[in-house]
Amino acid sequence: MERRHESEMWKRKGAVLFLWVLFAVCMRLNVEAKSSSTLERQIEAKLKKLNKPAVKTIKSEDGDIIDCVNIYDQPAFDHPALKNHTIQMMPDYMLKSEDSSTEDDSESKLFQTWQKSGSCPKGTIPIRRISREDLLRADSLDSFGRKFPQHFENLTADEGNQFIPENRSSAYLVTMGFNYIGAQAEINVWNPKVPEPDEFTTAQIWLKNNNNPYFESVESGWMVNPKLLGDDATRFFAYWTRDSYRSTGCFNLNCPGFVQTGQVVLGGKIEPISSHWGPQYDINVGMFLDPNTGNWYLKLSNNIPVGYWPAEILSSLRHSAILVEWGGQVASSNIKKETPHTRTQMGSGEFASGRFKDACFMRKIRIMDYSLQLKYPSYVSAMADEPYCYSSLNDVKYGADPIFYFGGPGQRPPYCP
């Protein structure tokens, strides 16, 4: 009798325990469902904000969808400082620059893959459509489209008085100390390998307001960025920040700020690509300040206007830059440590010492000051944060325009372990 009573008691306890477990599971599933539902609503809201109504849609053979958006409906005008902004086209004098050369078996041309499939009507601009998958690859919806902040283990400067972040490795040519209102260069186009999905590599120009860890910059060039763009293609980009990538600015049109005026897709795939056994291709990238408005304008080869960073989103850069850098950068958490170095390549993936057809180069390097004349900088220094992983070389020959080479393979034991 007593045993039967104990058996029934344990059955009741078991039933209660089962009900509690079932209740907990149901509650968890309910919370997860609500969380998933909330995330889906946030994603839909973000997509609606980023992807503006299209007048025309173009399906590119590389998989991109290009929306032709009314120029005044673009994302820039979601910025609070640009609510009443009137679009200001590039001043004529900025369209006068040195012609690109074709010597040494190199060709200066920009061709984006999407252009094979059509063009946008007058009064609209082409914008690469952001997908749900693009957003899901980001660390968070708020961080989508941004470079991750630079980390500094210590704030000591290198021999060039430059502060070196712990999650970036750069090889670059630098000039500083004057008031620069423009910079440009022909940037050799390659397709370096980025095996890690959270990393990216660039070949670009930076214009900054100072050389300390807390800077403001406008930037442009090409990059391979699988996390942001979903593939390993070489793509054109623009970037801006007012606080060293902490909370302001973004790539391309992924946040309000940059005003696009031209028929170039920011984030669009570039082709053709250079090879070690074939022709060398490059794009001429230039950024110039209009002293009358404080806008920084971006243009490409053959005087193709892209758009501008309006003065309203800038701080001291609206007056001038005091530092210009030309070169490459790899962003990774696996650099400058004893752990295995990243295998993400920079430039062509070969060291600067290989020079033409082997290493990535920049040439026709120019700055502009308040004389409004393009000229080679008076003083430059070639720098490399990790010279055994990525190197730099400024090739200066008598009577010839200097050519800057940079790049490298990343991990290369035992020199870059």
Q: What is the pLDDT of residues 10-52, one digit of tens each?
A: 566 566 566 665 655 555 655 455 556 888 999 999 999 999 9
Q: What pLDDT shows up at residue 339?
A: 75
Secondary structure (DSSP) of 182-218: EEEEEEE-------STT-EEEEEEEEES-SSSS--EE
**Over 60: is that where the pLDDT of 374 sits?**
yes
- Whole-angstrom distance, CA of residue 199 vs CA of residue 332: 5
- CA pair distance 229, 194, nearest whole angstrom: 13
pLDDT of 66 above 90: yes
User: CA torsion sign, 186 to 190 to 192 to 197?
Assistant: positive
The pLDDT of residue 148 is 82
CA distance 170 to 69: 36
Q: State pLDDT tens for residues 70-127.
A: 999 999 999 999 999 999 999 988 876 554 444 445 555 558 999 999 999 999 999 9
3-state secondary structure of 45: helix
For tokens 């530092």, what's the residue? Answer: 323
In the chain, % of residues over pLDDT 70: 84
Question: What is the edge-to-edge ordering of all strands in the sheet holding 65-70?
Answer: 54-59, 65-70, 124-128
pLDDT tens readout for residues 204-257: 999 999 988 889 999 999 999 999 999 999 999 999 999 999 999 999 999 999
Q: Structure pTM?
A: 0.88
pLDDT at 301: 83
Q: Supply the mean pLDDT for the chain.
A: 89
The contacts of residue 63 (CB under 8 Å, 6+ apart) are 231
Q: How far is CA 188 from CA 77, 192, 194, 386, in A?
A: 33, 12, 18, 21
Q: pLDDT tens across 305-326, in order?
A: 999 999 999 999 999 999 999 9
* Residue 3: per-residue pLDDT: 57
pLDDT at 101: 45
Question: Is pLDDT of 155 > 80?
Answer: no
> Per-residue pLDDT averaged across 276-287, rounded?
95
Decide: helix, strand or coil at residue 369: coil
Burial class (CB in 10 A: 0-12, 13-18, 19+), 121: exposed
The C-alpha atoms of residue 351 and residue 358 are separated, in whole angstroms, by: 8
Residue 221, pLDDT score: 98
Contact 180, 370 (CB under 8 A): no
pLDDT for residue 149: 82
What integer pLDDT is reported at residue 103 of this predicted model?
45
Q: Which residue has the higher pLDDT, 337 or 137?
A: 137
Least trusted range by pLDDT, from 2-6, 93-97, 283-287: 2-6
Residues in CB range of 288: below 8 A, 6 or more apart = 94, 181, 182, 184, 296, 297, 299, 368
Residue 340, pLDDT above cutoff 60: yes
- C-alpha 364/C-alpha 4 separation (Å) is 95
Joined together, the tokens standing for residue 106 give: 């190199």
Q: In 4-80, which ranges are E strands?
A: 54-59, 65-70
| Residue 110: predicted pLDDT | 53
In this prediction, residue 211 carries a pLDDT of 85
pLDDT at residue number 1: 55
Among 53, 87, 47, which Cα is nearest to 70's?
Answer: 53
Q: Is the peptide bond before 272 cis (omega within 30 degrees of 0)?
A: yes
